[in-house]
Structure 1
Amino acid sequence: MLQSYNNNLEELTPNDALTILMDGNTRFVNGISKSKNFLSRVEETGSQQKPFAAILSCMDSRAPVEILFDQGIGDVFSVRIAGNVVSENVLGSLEYAVGVSGSKLIMVMGHTNCGAVKGACDHVEFGNLTGLLNKIQPAVTAGNAGDGEKNSKNDAFVEDVTRLNIQNSINSILQQSEVIKKLTEEGKISLVGAVYNVSKGTVELLGEQN
């Protein structure tokens, strides 16, 4: 089914794209990922690509999106940066995906036990990483520490900051990109948030999709 969608991307709906991703994660978690001929896909996609989705995720080595969503070469755009934060370059990449290439879905995916989030919680300063972690600080400030302290040793706080940071990235995308906002309002694409559990392999969707 995915192959036919790649050949006829205009027939794919945003909901179809999300279903393909989540079905792929179900296969991954259950150990029934589809057999893939990567060399064949190299030949098929050598002259053009039609990815059905774009995923903004963290650079963490435990969260390779193509694998955990059981996708192959040419199926998804993968934009990876520590803490899945938004920048001008990230926005440009996502705008290309949906505005030029025709992808139907943008997913912003954070993950559990995120080093970038923990670094932000502890107010780490280290070279150029400092500026990146500053983008997560609004989530740190708003995060609920419960009865614990606002630092990386408080697992509940880290989880809350992770989820808030994902939503903040979604808000930033809509606020800073007229291209994506317009396509979303017109129903041509969807923008969703998700959390990947690095211990279980599962992807959890957050809230309602835009």
Structure 2
Amino acid sequence: MEDAFHSGIGNLFVARVAGNIVNNDILVSMEYACKVSGAKVVFVLGHEYCGAVKSAIDGVELGNITGLLNKIKPAVYKVVKNHRPGKTSKDANFVEEVCEENVEQAIIEIRKGSPILKEMEDKNQILIVGGVYDMKTGKVSMLERKQKPI
């Protein structure tokens, strides 16, 4: 995250989890960052070729990983339902679409799961946005589909 935004250690409040899924620990970290520490942007950053997304696409089941991957599957199902049935993790374009949708789903989950962050966003105290990091170029593509304007 620090590299993607050309920021030094300590300049960003970062909470990382495989597949950028949203759970209670992540919500607590974001609430703390915004309400207590004064962070102004919640940025959900997925990345191309995400191993967790690929594993969710392929239906991997393995210990605790299964529960994490189940949180990514709604993004897989939505992309498949919309227009890409029969695709696998070997299809880079499909993986990219699922990565983007997974970021969008995470933003929705943040708004649903944290009344604190939702209220702060509604009052324009914070911004909740998302993007996908291109590991080849080092650039972040902002997602615009469901994000609220400032």
Q: Normalising TM by the smaller chain, what interval?
A: over 0.9
Of 81, 94, 109, which residue of structure 1 is paired with 2:30?
Answer: 94
Q: What's the CA shift for 1:150?
A: 2.5
Q: Read off the aligned partner of 1:121 and give its amino acid letter.
A: I
TM-score scaled by length of structure 1 = 0.66
Which amino acid in structure 2 is aligned with residue 171 of structure 1?
I
Q: Does 1:162 align with 2:93?
A: no
2: CA distance between counterparts of 1:86 and 1:148? 26
Deviation at 1:79, TM superposition (A): 0.7
* Structure of greater relative contact order (alpha carbons < 8 Å, 6+ residues apart): 2
Deviation at 1:160, TM superposition (A): 1.1
Q: Structure 1: any 5+ residue segments left out of the alignment?
A: 1-64
Per-residue CA deviations over 1:140-198 (Å, capped at 9, x if unaligned) read 11114856623101222111111111000000000010000000000010000100001
Aligned to 2:13: 77
Cα displacement (A) at 1:127 = 1.0
Going from structure 1 to structure 2, the CA distance change for 1:128 and 1:150 (only over 3 Å counts) comes to same
Question: Against the structure 1 CA distance between its residues 138 and 147, is the aligned structure 2 distance closer, same or farther, given a 3 Å change threshold?
Answer: closer
Structure 1 Cα separation of the partners of residues 84 and 103 of structure 2: 23
Give the direction of change, closer, same or farther, for the CA distance of 1:148–1:172 in structure 2 (3 Å limit). closer
Select which of 39, 50, 53 maps to 1:114.
Answer: 50
Q: Work out the CA distance in 2 between the residues paired with 1:158 and 1:68.
A: 20
3-state SS of 1:184 partner: helix
What SS does structure 2 have at the residue aligned with 1:107? Answer: strand
Which runs of at least 4 in structure 1 moved beyond 6 Å after TM superposition? none
Gaps of 5+ in 2: none
Asked whether the equivalents of residues 146 and 157 of structure 1 are also in contact (C-alpha less than 8 Å), the reply is no
- What corresponds to 1:177 in structure 2? 114
Q: Distance in 1 between matches of 2:48 and 2:39?
A: 26
Tell me the C-alpha RMSD between the 2 structures.
Answer: 1.5
Secondary structure at 1:143's aligned position in 2?
Answer: helix
Q: Which whole-Å deviations, capped at 9, do the CAs of 1:26-61 have from their partners, x for residues lacking one?
A: xxxxxxxxxxxxxxxxxxxxxxxxxxxxxxxxxxxx
For 1:203 and 1:139, the matched residues in 2 are separated by 20
| In structure 1, C-alpha distance between the alignment counterparts of 2:89 and 2:3, rounded to whole Å | 28
Amino acid corresponding to residue 88 of structure 1 in structure 2: N
What is the TM-score when the length of structure 2 is the normalising length?
0.92
- Give the match for residue 126 of structure 1: 62
Aligned-pair identity (%): 45
